[in-house]
Amino acid sequence: MTLSFDPAAIARRALPLLDLTDLGDSCSASAVEALCATARAHHVAAVCVWPQFVTASAAALAGSPVRVATVINFPAGGDDVERAVEDTREALNDGAHEIDLVLPYRAFLAGDEATPRDMLAAVREVCDQGRLLKVILETGALPSPERIVQASRLAIAAGADFIKTSTGKSAISATPEAAEAMLVAIRDHSGPHSVGLKVSGGLRTVADAALYLALADRIMGPGWVTPRTFRLGTSSLLAELVAALEHSA
C-alpha cells in the first residue's frame, strides 16, 4: 500500500493512542520511572510494563489520565487458567487498569478452543470496574488470515475489550494483513459496542502509524479511531512522532 500523508497530522493522531511499552528482559525500576515520566509528558494512552512494576507505575502516574497495563500469560501463552486468573487478580490489586493476556494460541492451533475460551472468560470475570481486557492473539504464529479471524471471533465472544496482534517476542510481529483480518472480525462480530484493536510489535516509523491508521479508517470508518478503540503498542515510535511535530513547528 502506497500512502501519501502529512507526518505532523499522523503524529497528532497517533500520540494519544500510544501504549508506551517496556517489556525488555533488562527492564529496571529506573527505566519504568523514566517511561512513566515520558508518558505523562506526552499524554499517551497507557504504559505497558511487567507485573512487578505495576505498583510503581500506578504511583508514578497517580492523578494522570495515563493508564497502567501489564501482561499475563506472557509471552508463551500457556494453558494454566488458574495461574492466569491469580496473576490477573494480583496485577489489578497492584493498580493495573488494563490486562494484556496472551491467548493460549498453541492450544487453539491444536484444535482445543475450550481452554482459550475458559481462560478468557475467567480473566474477564475479574476485570471489572472499567478495567480493560486486551487479548494478544500472537498473529505471527497463526498460519492464515482465516485462522486470525477465528481467533479474533473467539476472543470477542469471550468478552475481550481489545484484540492485540502480538507479544513482540515472536519472529513475526504485527503485519498489515493480520491487522486487516482483525479489523474485519471486529466490524463483523463485535456488535454495537465495538471491540478495539491494539497493533503491537515492530512499529518504528510515522509511516507505520499512518499505514495502520489508514487501515482502521478504511474498514471501520473515519470516526472510529480513539484511545478506547485503537492503540499502538510501542516505545520506539515515540521519538519519530515527536520529531515530526517538532519539524512541522
Strand partners, 49: 22, 70
Q: Cell digits for 194?
A: 465495538
Question: What class, spelled out in words, does domain 7-248 have in CATH?
Answer: alpha beta
Which pLDDT does position 1 carry in this prediction? 54
Which pLDDT does position 214 carry in this prediction? 97
Q: What is the pLDDT of residues 11-27, one digit of tens each?
A: 999 999 999 999 999 99
Which pLDDT does position 192 carry in this prediction? 76
Q: Give dist(CA 101, CA 51) in Å, integer.
A: 12
Q: What is the pLDDT of residues 132-189, one digit of tens each?
A: 999 999 999 999 999 999 999 999 999 999 999 999 999 999 999 999 999 999 999 9
Is residue 43 predicted with pLDDT exceeding 80?
yes
| Confidence band of 249 (pLDDT split at 50, 70, 90) | confident
Q: Find out whether the peptide bond into 192 is cis, omega within 30 degrees of 0.
A: no
Strand partners, 232: 18, 199
Count of C-beta atoms within a 10 Å radius of residue 199: 31
Would you name the residues annotated as active-site residues? 100, 164, 198
**Spatial CA neighbour of 236 closest among 198, 197, 208, 196:** 208
Domain range summary for the chain, segments of one domain joined by +: 7-248
Q: Coil, strand, or helix at residue 231?
A: strand
| pTM assigned to the model | 0.96
Q: What is the pLDDT of residues 94-134, one digit of tens each?
A: 999 999 999 999 999 999 999 999 999 999 999 988 899 99
Q: Identify the DSSP state of 4.
A: -
229 to 15, 119, 197, 224: CA distances (angstroms): 14, 23, 6, 7
Q: What is the pLDDT of residues 182-222, one digit of tens each?
A: 999 999 999 877 899 999 999 999 999 999 999 999 999 99
Q: Give dist(CA 10, CA 28) in Å, integer.
A: 31
